[in-house]
Structure 1
Amino acid sequence: MSSYLELTARQRIPAIFDSGSFEEFLPPSSRVASPHLAQLDAPVSFDDGVVVGRGLLGGQVVFGAAQEGGFMGGAVGEVHGAKLVGMLRRAVDEGAQAVLLLLESGGVRLHEANAGLIAVSEVMRAMLDAREAGIPVIAVIGGSNGCFGGMGISARCANTVIMSEEGRLAMSGPEVIETANGVEEFDSRDRALVWRTTGGKHRYLLGDCQVLVPDDTAAFRAAALQAIADVAAGGAQLTLEDLLAEQGMLARRLADTEGLAEPMDVWKGLGIPDPAGVPMLEAEAFMALAARHRLDYRPAPQAAAQPATPTGEQ
């Protein structure tokens, strides 16, 4: 078993894609770095914190990106976002079989403010354009920095979100909520609370994540392959029916969870008899438990994908 969480972006790419198949666009040798950071005398990275390119996944041509959480928490700036957008547009131009996004980001860089916000909006539009072209877009979240802010919104523009329990997904990060509303609203130092609220298990039960896997690169790879196949079979496009179903799910979720501040209370409402035991369950046992009980917020069938057993050689 190889931990996905512990890898850098450049280590995750060869761990997920077929061995030796990935061709990077604008590698560090191209020296494409953020001009804004340089003007502020801030450290720069010659890949601007994201790897983009094209490779094979199970023999299929898949375009991919991996955000580097070790550089500014994977935060998005103008160049970082432009690389993601360019990769997505090229995937459409070349008729890729899928796009795989290995996301790890705290959101937009404060250093680049409006430029970063515009970049994130362009990423979301490019993701939806890829889906409209019939290309499945799969988001993977399992890094230590989680996926927050604009990239948290972007992740939900994908056909399928694959997470580990260690991954985290939300609009605002715990520190941001605490800074804005005080520790009484959210204690960012309470790690158990943070993972109960933003971690993979809670996101799966709320319908924000379609697949939960253990923190293992082989499991992520197998789940990505299965998700691509499932989405391709059901259609990658975002339809009006999909939007109405999503809106209905969100309305039910809002009504059912009104006044509930503790995720375990939500889990109890879903019919889980021992919500306090959920954090201790391994991914496989958790998925078995979830399958046995009522889930009001289950995603639409066309977007759903079951975790696959890792098979085959990379």
Structure 2
Amino acid sequence: MTQMITESLVESLARERAFQLLDKGSAYEILSPFDRLESPHLAAQNIVPQYDDGMIILKGTLNGKPTVVVSIEGNFQGGGIGEVSGAKLAGTLEKVLKECKEGNIIYPVIIYDTGGVRLQEANYGLLSIAEISAAIVELREYVPVVGIIPGKIGSFGGMSLTAGLCSALIMTREGRLGMNGPEVVEQEAGIRELDSRNKQLIWKMIGGAIRKEMGLADIVIEDDVPNFKNAILSIWNGEVELKHRTKNINQYLTLIKSLNIEEKISPEQATDILKGINNVENTDVPTPSELVNSRGRIWFNLLTENKQSISEIPSVLVADTEINGIKARIIAVVPNPESKFYRARKGEVGLLEGWTIAKYVRQAIEEDAHLNEKRLILPVVDVPSQAFGYHEELFGIYLSCSAAVDAYATARLAGHPIVAAVVGNAISGAFLSHGMQANRLISLNDDGVNVHVMSKKSAAIITQRTIEELDIAAKDVPSMAYDIQSFKKLGALYSLIDGVNAEEPSVDDSALVIEAIYSAYEDIKKENARDLSYRLKTEIAVSSGRVASIKVREMIEQQWK
């Protein structure tokens, strides 16, 4: 029997992938290499840029339906998201959203091949991924947002959170989906936690086939272009149920609380557990944690006047209070040395934390649904990172974090003003999950406040540089730096609060922060915008911080036919 010759999507480059999906002769490229819009931040680091910055936008039709395909080139900087590439994806989704709101339905398809944030541009990637996430959450209310993870890289880092937000996911067996790459988990937690060389185990944990069996992907297909087209059409035609996994909070939270991880759970066991997600009994009642006086706890107690947390999870503090007479819900993630999830004992956002944040943000949405004035939601940010661990990846920490992102973005769109107060570390996926969806970001001007995508040690290893070389590069590229003054140069901060003792705040210190929160709240109400566009409108953003991000969006608008 003659074997059929297949048209591979996995083996194709990003541009080829996009053209292969669209009807022949219908597609044209927006912001092609001929526009020569490259990253302005790579040449300064002796890295050769690329004229499309590794992000391809094609507009055309699929089976006659107006379609936009955004395809990430994994061969350029590992598919990393920088300022230009991130703005291309976010700006395209924002434009599709605008069209859909005007009644012109366009179907978006995202082809993932990415390790997450491009470390050489660091905080630009964080800002972009927050904006991509915000656009997906709003857009999927009008049209299904389809994600495809064909391989070779897969979808990792902050981009795994955006994949978790998609209406439906199509994968091949070669595709992989996880928040922290196996090498990064081994690097952060050690080889006993996860041996990244054990490829068979890795694919059993996060490969396309197992993600489908676990209910974390919707369709798994063999690598042939017609299969991808048929899968997309089956989603559009309603043949595939849209699961909205990030909204299934009680089921996932109950499951995570019930896990016994004293011995490692195998991928096969995890699959059986996740298959029965609606039948899991909550057998674990968290015990009160040993109090660790983290900055998150200090400022939570100060801003709530020492109110008792209503949260069932000791590492997530939640309380309702008033800020200058305004009703507010305050949420903080704090260390819990007694957590059974030992990789999330120092204030990291892990499996429990993401789902718990989502629960209490959505609770506020539901309770205020009938009110004209929605309560202020205030994330107190002091998070060292997301949790790096075997069980975290196995049970989908990316989805836990996606659920938190989804909840915050949904609250903002529902009219809840969100002001994130950064009082300590704001690192990586933890900051994306808890803070980056806020209408306004405020921060203490303090040496203990750091914003970045990864620890310095890990960033040095992955970029094959020394820590000293990273520090030198950060002088020319502020987005690579960790300090809050450098982050301010990107234009995303509403205010930077001087003269506050972060770890032993006085009554006067508290008053300064409350004044900044109230000012940010008033500014949100005055602007009356529910998206994240403020970060592209500040004086710093327009003059220097987000110039490329703004230009990309302008050029998408110009080239949209």
Partner Cα distance (1:40, 1:266) in 2: 43
**1:57-96 matched pairs, under 5 angstroms:** 57-94=62-99, 95-96=104-105
Question: Aligned residue for 1:263?
Answer: 267
**Counterpart of 2:224?**
216
Partner of 1:100, secondary structure, is strand
C-alpha separation in 2, matches of 1:182 and 1:235: 37
Question: Which residue is equivalent to 1:305?
Answer: none
Conservation of the 8 A alpha-carbon contact between 1:109 and 1:116 = yes
Contact 1:76 1:109 in 2 (8 A): yes
Does 1:140 pair with 2:145? Answer: no
Q: Find the counterpart in structure 2 of residue 170 from structure 1.
A: 178
* Residue identity opposite 1:86 in structure 2: G
Q: Distance in 1 between matches of 2:259 and 2:267?
A: 9
Matching residue within 3, 8, 25 for 2:13: 8
Separation in structure 1 between the aligned mates of residue 70 and residue 57 of structure 2, nearest angstrom: 4
Q: Give the SS at the match of 2:228.
A: helix
Q: CA deviation at 1:205?
A: 2.3
In structure 2, C-alpha distance between the alignment counterparts of 1:124 and 1:172, rounded to whole Å: 18
Cα deviation 1:113-156 (Å, max 9, x = unaligned): 11111111111011112123x12100000121110001111011
Q: Is the 8 A contact 2:164 2:246 kept in 1?
A: no
Q: 1:258 to 1:46 in 2, by over 3 A?
A: farther
Distance 1:124 1:47, change over 3 A: same
Q: Choose from 47, 58, 67 the match for 2:52.
A: 47
Match of 1:20 among 19, 25, 44: 25
TM-score scaled by length of structure 1: 0.79
The aligned counterpart of 1:294 is none
Structure 1 stretch displaced more, 123-132 or 67-76: 123-132
- Residue in structure 2 matched with residue 30 of structure 1 by the alignment: 35
- Code of the residue aligned with 1:54 in structure 2: it is K
Structure 2 matches for 1:211-250, cutoff 5 A? 211-230=219-238, 244=247, 246-250=248-252
**What amino acid does structure 2 have at the position aligned with 1:249?**
Q
Distance 2:159 2:180 in 1: 10
CA distance in structure 1 between the aligned counterparts of 2:254 and 2:267, rounded to whole angstroms: 16
Matched, 1:119 2:123: no
Cα drift, residue 264 of structure 1: 1.8
Which of 140, 144, 149 is 1:131 aligned to? 140
Give the counterpart letter for 2:73 in structure 1: E
The CA deviation at 1:271 is 8.0
Which residue number in structure 1 is paired with residue 320 of structure 2? none
CA contact (8 A) 2:56 2:71 kept: yes
CA contact (8 A) 1:63 1:96 kept: no
With over 3 angstroms needed to count, the CA separation of the structure-2 counterparts of 1:195 and 1:32, relative to structure 1, is same
Aligned match of 1:155: 163
SS class of match (1:21): coil
Tell me the distance in 2 between the aligned counterparts of 1:89 and 1:123: 8
Q: Would the alpha carbon gap of residues 209 and 91 (structure 1) be closer, same or farther in structure 2, given more than 3 Å must change?
A: same
In structure 2, relative to structure 1, the CA distance for the partners of 1:256 and 1:192 (3 Å cut) is: farther
Identical-pair percentage: 35
**Partners of 1:166 and 1:255 in 2: CA distance:** 31
| Paired position in structure 2 for 1:251 | 253
Question: 2:69 & 2:84 partners in 1: Cα distance?
Answer: 16
Deviation per residue, 1:184-209 (Å, 9 max, x gap): 11111111011111101221122221
Q: Is the 8 A contact 2:79 2:114 kept in 1?
A: yes
SS in 2 for 1:266: helix
TM-score (norm 2): 0.45
Is 2:111–2:148's contact at 8 Å kept on the other side of the alignment? yes
Within a 5 Å distance, the mapping from 1:100-115 to structure 2 comes to 100-115=109-124
Q: Which amino acid counterpart does residue 212 of structure 1 have in structure 2? A: V
Aligned mates of 2:32, 2:162 — CA distance in 1: 24
> How many residue pairs get matched?
266
Q: Is the 8 A contact 1:140 1:163 kept in 2?
A: yes
Asked if structure 2 preserves the Cα contact closer than 8 Å seen for 1:161 and 1:209, the reply is: yes
Counterpart of 2:61 in 1: which secondary structure? Answer: strand
Distance in 2 of aligned mates of 1:112 and 1:4: 28
Distance of 2:227 and 2:259 partners within structure 1: 32
Q: Which residue of 1 aligns with 2:545?
A: none
Q: Distance in 2 between matches of 1:217 and 1:187?
A: 34
Quote how far apart the aligned CAs of 1:257 are.
4.6
Deviations 1:157-212 (A, max 9, x none): 11001111110001111111011011111111111011111101221122221111
Larger Rg: 2
**Residue 196 (structure 2) aligns with:** 188
Look up the equivalent residue of 1:267 and give its one-letter code.
T
Distance in 1, matches of 2:274 and 2:121, equals: 41
Query: Displacement of 1:234 after TM fit?
Result: 7.6
Alpha-carbon distance, 1:268 to partner: 4.9
Structure 1 residue ranges, 4+ long, deviating more than 4 angstroms after superposition? 233-236, 268-272
The alpha carbon displacement at 1:256 in A equals 5.5
CA distance in structure 1 between the partners assigned to 2:204 and 2:107 by the alignment? 31
Aligned-pair CA distance for 1:270? 6.5
Amino acid at match of 2:269: D
SS at match of 1:187: coil
Helix, strand or coil at the partner of 1:83: helix
Question: CA 1:201 to 1:71, structure 2 compared with 1: closer, same or farther past 3 Å?
Answer: same
